[in-house]
Amino acid sequence: MSEIRFQTDEHIPNAVIAGLKRRRVDVLSSLEAGLLGAADEAQLAFAAEQGRVFITEDDDFLTLHAQGVKHAGIVFVQPRQPIGYMVRGLHFIFQVLSAEEMENHVEFL
């Protein structure tokens, strides 16, 4: 079983990304991926191609999941959650689930 690698939506705070990186989690921001302003479908497709679980606060990604769009996993974060809550929750997902378990699966935080 392989470790989860994450990609974040552009709305996920940089402090969350930094907190995950400090915990040695492989996480790529939309900025780092060159995807700022890209369509949701393009962002999810890029994450899937890279084998990255997509972290988002945008419920449009839940719609894409419900429509059967294939992905490497989605973590949906309720909007406006505290930074520490997000980092701890995402790190927990990283610790207990594998990349294979996240494939075409949604976790809610």
**Vertex 96: Cα angle to 90 and 98 (nearest 5):** 95
pLDDT confidence tier of residue 87, bands split at 50, 70 and 90: very high
**Domains present along the chain, CATH in parentheses:** 6-108 (3.40.50)
- Of 35, 29, 73, the closest CA to residue 51 belongs to 73
Q: How much is the average pLDDT of 72-80?
A: 96
pLDDT tens digits, one per residue of 26-69: 999 999 999 999 999 999 999 999 999 999 999 999 999 999 99
80, burial (CB in 10 Å: exposed 0-12, middle 13-18, buried 19+): exposed
Tokens standing for residue 101: 């378990």
- Give the angle 39-45-48 at the CA atoms, nearest 5°: 145
**Cα 28 from Cα 26, distance rounded (Å):** 7
What letter does residue 63 receive in the DSSP assignment?
A: H
The 10s digit of each residue's pLDDT in 4-32 is: 999 999 999 999 999 999 999 999 999 99
